[in-house]
Amino acid sequence: MAELGVNIDHVATVRQARRTNEPDPVWAATLAQLGGADGITLHLREDRRHIQDRDLRVLRETVTVKLNLELACNPDIVTIACQTRPDQATLVPEKRQELTTEGGLEIVTHRQRVADTIKRLRDAGIIVSLFLDPEEKQIAAAAGLGAQAIELHTGAYAEATGEEGKQALELAKLRRAAQQVLDLGLTLHAGHGLTYRNVRPVAAIAGISELNIGHSIVARAIMVGFEQAVREMKKLVE
C-alpha cells in the first residue's frame, strides 16, 4: 500500500501572501500527522516564495513521520539540507517563473550535476529520490547515479482530463515507467497534480510506495474548514 506524503507548501503560500505568521505550516504538519499522513513534504525554493528556512528547521524538530524535502540541485540549498538532515530529499528542477514544478529533472543532460548533488546528500545520511517524467530514457539515465528512489511526475496524467482516452494513455505510460523503476531495484514514488478524483488509479499501481500530494489537500482543507471559521468570527463580531 502506498504511503501518503502531505505537501504543506501552499499553507505557507497563504501566509506569505501577507508576510505574517499564519497559517503556520508547522501547525498544518501536526494536523496532517493526526490525520494519518505518513510523511510531510516541503519544497524550499531558491526564491523562498512559500516555505522559509525557519519552517524547515522547526519541522525537522517537530515532525515525527518521514520528512521529505524537495529541492533543486542548488549548492546553497543542498548545504541547508545537509545541515538540517531531512529523512529524504527529492531532487526537482526549478525555474523562477513557473507556478509549480513543471517537469521532471533532466538527468540525461545534467548527469554530473545531479550525481554530485546525490553524493552530498547521501554522505549526510539522507535518502535521495529523483523527480522524473515517466520517460524511458530519463529513468534509464537514473541507473547507477546513487539515488534510492524515483518519484514519477503524474502531472501529464492529472492534466489529461476531458480528452477521450488521453488519461488512459498517460496512466499506461505511468505503469510502464513504474515497472522500469522497480526493475532497476529502486523505490517507486509518484506525485504532482493528484486530486480526490484522480488519485485512485495511481495509488493502485503495483509496487508504488509513496504518493506526495499537496495542492488538492490544502484546497479541500479550506473548503471543509471555511464554514466553521466564519461561524467563529461571526460570534466574536456579535
Annotated catalytic residues are 43, 70, 192
Q: Is 162 helix (H, G, I), strand (E, B) or coil?
A: coil
DSSP string computed for 51-110? --HHHHHHHHHH--SEEEEEE-S-HHHHHHHHHH--SEEEE----TT-SS--S---TTTS
Asked if residues 107 and 130 have their Cβ atoms less than 8 Å apart, the reply is: yes
- Nearest approach in angstroms of CB 102 to ligand PXP is 9
- Between 171 and 231, name the residue whose CB sits nearer to ligand PXP: 171
DSSP state of 43: E
- Select the residue interacting with ligand PXP from 2, 6, 7, 107 (CB under 6 A): 7
12-51 positions binding ligand PXP, by CB under 6 A? 43
Q: What are 129's strand-pairing partners?
A: 90, 149
Stretch of 53-61, 175-183, 185-193, 202-210 lying at the interface with ligand PXP (CB under 6 A): 185-193
* Binding flag, residue 101, ligand PXP (CB under 6 A): yes
Helix (H) or strand (E) holding 120: helix 111-123
- Select the residue interacting with ligand PXP from 55, 70, 133, 135 (CB under 6 A): 70
- Between 9 and 135, name the residue whose CB sits nearer to ligand PXP: 9
- For residues 113 and 236, what is the distance between their CA atoms, to the nearest angstrom? 55
* Binding flag, residue 161, ligand PXP (CB under 6 A): no
Q: Per-residue x/- mask for ligand PXP, residues 112 to 141, rule CB under 6 A?
A: -------------------x----------
Helix (H) or strand (E) holding 235: helix 215-237
- Nearest approach in angstroms of CB 232 to ligand PXP is 28
- Note the residues at the interface with ligand PXP (CB under 6 A): 7, 9, 43, 70, 90, 92, 100-101, 131, 151, 191-194, 212-216
